[in-house]
Amino acid sequence: MRFKNLSKIIIQGSALCLLGFVTISFAAKFKITGVFDGDTLTAEGQGTKITVRLVGIDAPELSKKKHLPGQPFSLKAKDHLAALVLNKTVTIKFYEMDRHGQSLGEVFEGGTNVNLEMLKAGLAEVYRGQPAEGLDIAAYRDAESTAKKKAIGIWELRDQYFSPMDWREIYQ
C-alpha cells in the first residue's frame, strides 16, 4: 500500500476514531532514520518522513535542559532502541496520533516486536495512560512483569525507580 500523505491519513483516521466512527489501523514499511530517545524515532517511507512514538511503552526521559541530567537508563534506552532499528527497514503498525501529533505505532524488525523488546530489556515501562484501541496490552504487561522479576534495567532501581510520567511532571 502506498500513501502519498501518510500524516494526513493518520490524522483523518484519528479524528474518526475520536468521533467513534471507525478504528483505523494499518502497517507499512519504513526506514528508521533517527532515534530521539527510548520510545521515539524518525522513519522515512511511503513518500513521507514521520515521527513515531512506540505505542504502549514509556521509556526513561532524556533531559531537555542542558544543565540537568536525564533519568537513569535514559541514554541506555536510546542506545538500545537505536541498536534494534536505526538504519533498518521495519514494519510499523500504526494505531492513532498522540496529543503531540506523533504517530503511535508498533515497530517490527525481522518479525520481532521492538516495543516488547524494550520492555523485556527493562528499558521502558508499560504506558500508564489509556492504551491504544486494538493494542494487546496484556503482552506488554507480561513483558514488564518479567523484567521486574529479573530486576533488569530500570527495575534494578527498585524503590528508587521513578516513572517517566512522574518525572515529566516535575522536570519538564
> Between 79 and 64, where is the model more confident?
79
Residue type, 107: V
Query: 35 lies in a domain?
Result: yes
Rounded mean pLDDT, 153-160: 95
Q: What is the DSSP letter of 76?
A: H
- Domain with residue 102: its CATH number is 2.40.50.90
Query: 1 lies in a domain?
Result: no
Per-residue pLDDT tens digits for 27-66 = 899 999 999 999 999 999 989 999 999 999 999 999 887 7
- The residue segments making up the domain with residue 120 are 6-171
Among the ranges given (75-79, 109-113, 146-150, 168-172), the one the predictor scored with the smallest mean pLDDT:
168-172
Provide, rounded to the nearest whole percent, the portion of the chain with pLDDT above 70: 85
How far is the C-alpha of 44 from the C-alpha of 87, rounded, in Å?
A: 10
Question: Count of alpha carbons within 13 Å of 4, Cβ hemisphere only?
Answer: 0
How far is the C-alpha of 112 from the C-alpha of 107, rounded, in Å?
A: 8
Query: 72 lies in a domain?
Result: yes
- 56 close to 137: Cβ distance less than 8 angstroms: yes
User: Whole-model pTM?
Assistant: 0.84
Q: Which residues of 6-33 are buried (b: 16+ CB within 10 A; e: fewer)?
A: beebbeebbeebeeeeeebbeebebebe
Query: 64 lies in a domain?
Result: yes
As for how many domains the chain has, the answer is 1
